Amino acid sequence: MYQEDLNPYNSSEYEKFFKTTLLYKKISKNYDLVSFDNDLMQIINGLTTRTVLSLSILDAAPFYYLQYLTDLNPSKIYDIGCRANLFKKYVPNLIGIDVLAAKKDRDANADEYLKINNRFYEENFETMEAAFAINSFHFFPLKKIRERVIQFSSLISKGGRGWITFNAAIMLERQVKSKIRLNSKNIPEEEVEKLEKFVRKELYDLPFKLEVFECTINKELDSPLTGNVRILFTK
């Protein structure tokens, strides 16, 4: 059995809705370009490198998923692997967490720097009403994706919600020990199709209620913005 897409993000529909919100008005004052595409290449398509480097750009697509979390009105929302902590300005009660090693990075702006290890999961078992991790939990072989999704879900309290995304290219690189960046141009199409089927099979019948499920590996193997495997659930 394979997990089918559920409530997938529709960029044109969401753009129409989001542009009517006060949040959009706030964001648009701070950025030159607000995009609604999960695909980084689509966002910068047609723009010269010089133009891209001169613009401040924000992808608004994550707010589609974050709405599911804020709808619960949680006392805290954790952004795990937040790095620059970009969403803190716009999401109420957000706490940005990152690994200790990230503290030295130029754009680091987390509220807390922690060791994300087994002890972290044990100490925070079912303690978070809401949490999300955008492309920050995918540094492991692809064959372990189900294990890591369930591990992340262990942080969420009963009735809470979590959202996690993965970039399949990063996971595949670790599985095959590739020394080059993998993408749809250097992996045969039939192999990419097999990867998507594998992921859909691995993530079928997860032990929680899915609210959103998307797997777009066939569209682009390397998806550095918001990943090509996106899972949002209620515990």
Residue 153 contacts residue 219 (beta carbons within 8 Å) = no
Is the pLDDT score of 108 beyond 90? no
Is the pLDDT score of 181 beyond 80? no
Is the pLDDT score of 153 beyond 80? yes
- Hey, CA dihedral for 118, 80, 218, 185, is it positive or negative? negative
Per-residue pLDDT averaged across 151-174, rounded?
96
* Lowest mean pLDDT, pick from 41-50, 68-77, 154-163, 209-218: 41-50
Q: State the alpha helices, DSSP H only, in 118-203.
A: 118-123, 145-153, 168-176, 189-202
Against a cut of 0.75, is the pTM above it?
A: yes
Is the pLDDT score of 113 beyond 90? yes
* Mean pLDDT, rounded, of the chain: 92
Give me the pLDDT at residue 112, please. 95
Per-residue pLDDT averaged across 174-195, rounded?
83
Give me the pLDDT at residue 40, please. 63
Residue 185 contacts residue 170 (beta carbons within 8 Å) = no
Give me the pLDDT at residue 100, please. 86
Domain layout of the chain by residue ranges: 62-234
Tens of pLDDT, residues 187-232: 888 999 999 999 999 999 999 999 999 999 999 899 888 999 999 9
Taking alpha carbons only, the member of 86, 68, 123, 153 closest to residue 98 is: 86
Give me the pLDDT at residue 57, please. 87
Domain 62-234 has CATH 3.40.50: yes
Is the pLDDT score of 172 beyond 80? yes
